[in-house]
Amino acid sequence: MIDFRYHVVSLVAVFIALAVGIVLGAGPLREGLSSTLESEVGQLRQERTDLRGEVDVANQRAEAREAALGRLAGPALERTLEGVRVGVVIFPGADRNTLEQLERQVGRAGGRVTLTAEVTEAWASPTPDDGLLGDLALTLEVPEPRNGELPTTATVMAAVLAGADQPGQLGAWLGAGAELEDAGLVEFTWRGGTADEFTDRRPPDALLVVDGDLDAAQAQEPDGEQDLVTRLDLVDALADLDVPLVVTGAGTEERAAEGEDNLDPLVAAVRSDRGLADQVSTVDNIEHLSGQLAAALALAWQLEDEVGHYGLGRLAEAPVPTVPPAREGTVSVPLPQNGTPGAGEQDDTGSGEGSDPGDPAQSTAAP
């Protein structure tokens, strides 16, 4: 049985140990511990300073390279999309600043964005009206869906974007597009009024698809998976209709966290599908200037029936394509607010040379 003397001895031992610790800490061990801690803290501070310096240098180099790329972009892009009418398909969540920069690069290449198609959140939901899609499919050359036989929102929209009318149904695709707008599935915006305020509503010569904010994690969820399938159906249908097409996504400019994938899921799906990968070009870093240049150059190569995959992510062949040959076409002259081309204005290629709309030498027939 533990008696009182045992408790007394235990308490005395505790106090003796505490006293010895205090004496040693204030005496022989003090200098050693203090100098060790001070050395470690100083080393950590120096490492932090060094890392900050490395980050500053890396940022300066990145800014210098981007400035150099921006200066080289004009000569590289010049006339590669001359006279090309470009359509842009925009999925929900796409960054507006990126879209503006992408359109700017198309303009520097001599092309012109004539149509934007903003897909709504509703389009990936179950088909709103099978009867509507069936009726529209009667007037359009609608590709067969990847899964199933009935026309889907994606296949009908692809036929509209491609201007694919049934024989004898001239202009049916415009009416079908209006029906899709009325159903709340897409919003079309036409650009490029002429001096007579006539909007050129021909199907675009080529298409850029800009994916939105659907990331790899969301694409694993049931709703996100269905959304991705529908987006891929649209790309597949456009490929079936032989539309020159570049699919773009963002994310690879940022370092991915461990176990995560920063490659856009639509870009990844196209690259992983051997059939589509041989028909459709992709760019995975559209948020950066190099990705925007790659998209414009890849579109020019698509018009030459050349396919490529560019960026920093998986299965990318190179950061940017090689420079394609210049195209022969009509030099575009921007319209001022009054809708009448003015002499002495710069053309879309950024050459800075004056243009006289009354001089027939300023325009040549497109091939």
First to last CA, the chain: 108
Residues whose CB is less than 8 angstroms from the CB of residue 129 and which lie 6 or more positions away in sequence, other chains included: 183
Which amino acid, 335? L
Establish if 95 belongs to a structural domain. yes
Same domain? For 52 and 93 the reply is no
Q: Which residue has the tokens 């414009």?
A: 296
Per-residue pLDDT in tens (0 to 9) along the chain, 367 residues = 556 676 677 777 777 877 766 665 665 555 666 677 778 888 888 888 888 888 888 778 777 777 777 788 889 999 999 999 999 999 999 999 999 999 999 999 999 999 999 999 888 776 556 788 999 999 999 998 887 778 999 999 999 999 999 999 999 999 999 999 999 999 999 987 555 556 778 999 999 999 999 988 888 898 889 899 999 999 999 999 999 999 999 999 988 777 678 999 999 999 999 999 999 999 999 999 999 999 999 999 999 999 999 999 999 999 999 999 999 865 443 333 333 333 333 344 333 333 333 333 333 333 3
Same domain? For 155 and 239 the reply is yes
Q: Please give the pLDDT value at position 349.
A: 37
Q: Please give the pLDDT value at position 189.
A: 95
Q: How many CB atoms lie within 10 A of CB 282?
A: 35
Same domain? For 193 and 276 the reply is yes
Same domain? For 14 and 140 the reply is no
Establish if 332 belongs to a structural domain. no
Same domain? For 10 and 127 the reply is no
Q: Please give the pLDDT value at position 194.
A: 54
Which residue, 261, 276, 310, sits at the end of a domain?
Answer: 310
Q: What are the tokens at 290?
A: 């190099």
Report d(CA 54, CA 266) in Å as an integer: 35
Establish if 73 belongs to a structural domain. no
Burial of 172 (0-12, 13-18, 19+ CB in 10 A): buried
Establish if 306 belongs to a structural domain. yes
Identify the H or E element spanning 38.
helix 28-77
Which residue, 13, 28, 61, sits at the end of a domain?
Answer: 61
Establish if 362 belongs to a structural domain. no
Q: What are the tokens at 270?
A: 């196209």
Same domain? For 127 and 252 the reply is yes
Same domain? For 27 and 171 the reply is no
85-90 and 112-119 as β-strands: parallel, antiparallel, unpaired?
A: parallel
CA distance to 10, 11, 12, 17, 19, per residue, from 23 (Å): 20, 18, 16, 10, 6
Which residue, 260, 280, 310, sits at the end of a domain?
Answer: 310
Identify the H or E element spanning 292.
helix 289-302
Q: Please give the pLDDT value at position 196.
A: 55
Same domain? For 228 and 151 the reply is yes
Residues whose CB is less than 8 angstroms from the CB of residue 96 and which lie 6 or more positions away in sequence, other chains included: none
Same domain? For 35 and 124 the reply is no
H helices of 78-152, in order, are 96-108, 130-137
DSSP 3-state helix, strand, coil percentages of the chain (rounded to 5)? 45, 10, 45
Same domain? For 143 and 52 the reply is no
Q: Please give the pLDDT value at position 366.
A: 34
Establish if 348 belongs to a structural domain. no
Q: What are phi and psi of 112, to 5 degrees?
A: -145, 130
Establish if 337 belongs to a structural domain. no
Whether the CB-CB separation of 351 and 107 falls below 8 Å is answered with no
Same domain? For 12 and 56 the reply is yes
Establish if 75 belongs to a structural domain. no
Q: What is the largest CA-CA distance in the chain?
A: 117
Q: How many CB atoms lie within 10 A of CB 227?
A: 23
- Number of compact structural domains in the chain: 2
Q: Which domain holds residue 276?
A: 82-310
Give me the residues paired with residue 283 across strands: 248, 310
**CATH assignment at residue 271:** 3.40.50.2300
Same domain? For 34 and 120 the reply is no
Q: Please give the pLDDT value at position 354.
A: 36
